[in-house]
């Protein structure tokens, strides 16, 4: 294990730790192990395009910081334009808090929630105090780098623009914000663990991770427009409801000291910014023992699972699955895809993206022309953008965190495994694609009117056909039978080919709209083609043993 730079820096404070009766060498050793293990995790922010070609031992976290530095560019205009401090700095702190908090929950929950620590470390001659200190320092190191990456550029540039007092206020503000976030996260966990069991908490963390992936991706879309969005003319006057919005507390001192606007609200906000984090820390240290006790819930999944009978789904199964085997596999794939967190983490972000992408493109169009122009145009074909998720999601079908369970396919007395594929794809369409499609369709009909219904139907059939074509990527592997570790998410060329195909489909559709009854004829042809493709795939691609 290597000697971390961070820890060498920490060595400078050795005396301070020993003052508090902490066994410094032991704490340092624990930290070395923790940092080594962190280096072997992939942070969520990388999930979308992580290449598993492991470079020898470089910390994925440090690399993910690069992404945050990029995001921090977005914050620069916020800081330097104008002197409407309360507004600008509140947004600045709001974004920082959001990013730090989500990243904390998604990548660092395992530090707060590691139940192994107790069994492994406390059975050794390690004092609880030392272990807690190690945990705290670990979180601090992480937050230091994260906050640093996110704010160094804007704060330094801001300091040039607004002077040294700005620098000072920002630094104090950031430290307080971090304290606040740590405690807030811990308190949220505390309450979740108090009322639910560990599984629920893991689910919630999972959804936060998904949310983070989506919002980072959208963040990049917004990045380009950051300069135009920041509207410095918004007048923003303090009022009572802002007491409930923490970022505003942290923005207030800037207004107070830099613009010399003093009023009761601003002083109140500033006091809150100072006092709330400190009070929170005190409460937190009081709650620590109770928190630890609740943590034990993570290990026992006592919660008797409620079985939800879904009537509509049972009905649906009977309609869309023909053979009994296919029905069995449909239920199985349905359960797998709904329950597996890792699968959700890989696929749900792209669902979120495909919900949003069509609008990103239309937004561009609206900016260039007008909304009325958009409605009368053929921009409704932007709904094809939501098909972008299909290649990725279909490839993911073959992976599972519990891939070792796949032996069951081999030992069960089943003639052909083709129904497994068709069932998995049907579940994908019903569970994942359909909701996105329905939401988008509803919004699109709202924008473009009822006249596009036939186009939407064409698009739906195309998506099914497209799914069948993409299932070629599954060839040779069974669904849920490989480890996510092997996921070559880069499969770049394949995905690009698939995307080109999507453009071709959209192009044909566009062409069909120019021919009288073209869309209807195209629709009928598509249905025939899709049925044919499905049968063909059933016999060739999916059929092997």
Question: Which residues of this chain interact with another protein, rule CB under 8 A?
Answer: 1, 26, 29-30, 32-33, 36-37, 40-41, 116, 118-128
CB closer to another protein out of 243 and 484: 484
Q: Which of 99, 95, 124, 155 is nearest to 33 (CA)?
A: 124
Q: Which of 365, 360, 358 is nearest to 381 (CA)?
A: 358
Q: Which of 156, 149, 173, 148 is nearest to 254 (CA)?
A: 173
State the chain's maximal CA–CA distance in angstroms.
85
User: CA-to-CA distance for 544 and 522, rounded, in angstroms?
Assistant: 33
CB closer to another protein out of 128 and 338: 128
Shortest Cβ distance from residue 32 to another protein (Å)?
A: 8
Contact 522, 512 (CB under 8 A): yes
Shortest Cβ distance from residue 284 to another protein (Å)?
A: 20
Q: Could you give phi then psi for residue 23, rounded to 5 degrees?
A: -75, 95
Helices (H) and strands (E) in the chain, counts: 23, 0
Q: Which of 115, 97, 96 is nearest to 202 (CA)?
A: 115
> Could you give the 3-state DSSP secondary structure of residue 184?
helix
Shortest Cβ distance from residue 331 to another protein (Å)?
A: 22
Shortest Cβ distance from residue 21 to another protein (Å)?
A: 10
Shortest Cβ distance from residue 25 to another protein (Å)?
A: 8
Shortest Cβ distance from residue 271 to another protein (Å)?
A: 38
CB closer to another protein out of 26 and 463: 26
Shortest Cβ distance from residue 374 to another protein (Å)?
A: 51
Q: Which of 152, 122, 127 is nearest to 17 (CA)?
A: 127
For 62, residues 6+ apart whose C-beta sits below 8 A from its C-beta are 145
CB closer to another protein out of 21 and 507: 21
User: CA-to-CA distance for 274 and 389, rounded, in angstroms?
Assistant: 45
CB closer to another protein out of 41 and 539: 41
CB closer to another protein out of 32 and 206: 32
CB closer to another protein out of 36 and 215: 36
């Amino acid at each position: 294990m290597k000697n971390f730079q961070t820890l060498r820096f920490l060595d400078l404070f050795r005396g301070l730790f020993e003052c508090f009766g902490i066994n410094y060498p032991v704490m340092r050793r624990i930290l070395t192990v923790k940092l080594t293990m962190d280096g072997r995790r992939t942070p969520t922010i990388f999930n979308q395009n992580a290449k598993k070609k492991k470079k020898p031992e470089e910390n994925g976290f440090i690399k993910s910081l690069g992404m945050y530095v990029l995001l921090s560019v977005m914050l620069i205009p916020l800081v330097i334009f104008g002197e409407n401090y309360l507004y600008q700095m509140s947004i600045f702190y709001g974004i920082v808090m959001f990013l730090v908090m989500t990243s904390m929950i998604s990548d660092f929950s395992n530090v707060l929630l590691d139940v192994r620590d107790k069994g492994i470390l406390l059975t050794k001659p390690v004092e609880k105090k030392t272990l807690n200190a190690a945990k705290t320092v670990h979180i601090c190191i992480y937050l230091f780098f994260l906050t640093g990456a996110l704010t160094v550029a804007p704060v330094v540039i801001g300091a040039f623009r607004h002077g040294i007092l700005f620098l000072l206020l920002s630094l104090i503000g950031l430290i307080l914000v971090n304290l606040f976030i740590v405690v807030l996260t811990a308190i949220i966990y505390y309450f979740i663990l108090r009322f639910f069991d560990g599984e629920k908490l893991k689910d919630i963390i999972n959804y936060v991770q998904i949310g983070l992936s989506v919002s980072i991706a959208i963040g990049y879309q917004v990045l380009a427009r950051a300069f135009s969005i920041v509207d410095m003319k918004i007048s923003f006057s303090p009022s009572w409801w802002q007491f409930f919005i923490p970022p505003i507390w942290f923005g207030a001192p800037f207004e107070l000291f830099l613009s010399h606007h003093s009023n009761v609200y601003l002083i109140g906000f500033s006091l809150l910014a100072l006092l709330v984090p400190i009070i929170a820390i005190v409460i937190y240290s009081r709650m620590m023992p109770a928190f630890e006790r609740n943590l034990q819930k993570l290990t026992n999944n006592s919660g008797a699972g409620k079985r939800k009978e879904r009537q509509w789904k049972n009905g649906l199964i009977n309609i869309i699955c023909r053979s009994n085997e296919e029905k069995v596999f449909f239920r199985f794939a349905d359960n797998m895809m709904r329950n597996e967190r890792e699968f959700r983490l890989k696929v749900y972000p792209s669902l979120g993206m495909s919900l949003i992408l069509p609008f990103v493109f239309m937004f561009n169009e609206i900016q260039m022309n007008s909304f009325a122009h958009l409605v009368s145009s053929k921009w409704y074909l932007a709904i094809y953008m939501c098909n972008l998720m299909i290649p990725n999601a279909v490839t993911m079908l073959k992976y599972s965190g519990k891939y070792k369970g796949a032996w069951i396919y081999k030992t069960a007395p089943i003639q052909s495994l083709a129904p497994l594929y068709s069932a998995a794809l049907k579940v994908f369409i019903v569970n994942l694609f359909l909701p996105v499609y329905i939401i988008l369709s509803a919004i699109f009909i709202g924008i473009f009117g009822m006249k596009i219904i036939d186009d939407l139907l064409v698009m739906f059939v195309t998506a099914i056909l497209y799914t069948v074509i993409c299932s070629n990527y599954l060839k040779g592997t069974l669904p849920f039978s490989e480890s996510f570790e092997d996921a070559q998410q880069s499969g770049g060329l394949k995905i690009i080919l698939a995307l080109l195909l999507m453009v071709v489909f959209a192009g044909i559709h566009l062409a069909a709209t120019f021919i009288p009854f073209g869309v209807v004829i195209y629709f009928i042809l598509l249905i025939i083609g899709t049925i044919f493709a499905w049968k063909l795939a059933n016999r060739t691609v999916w059929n092997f043993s």
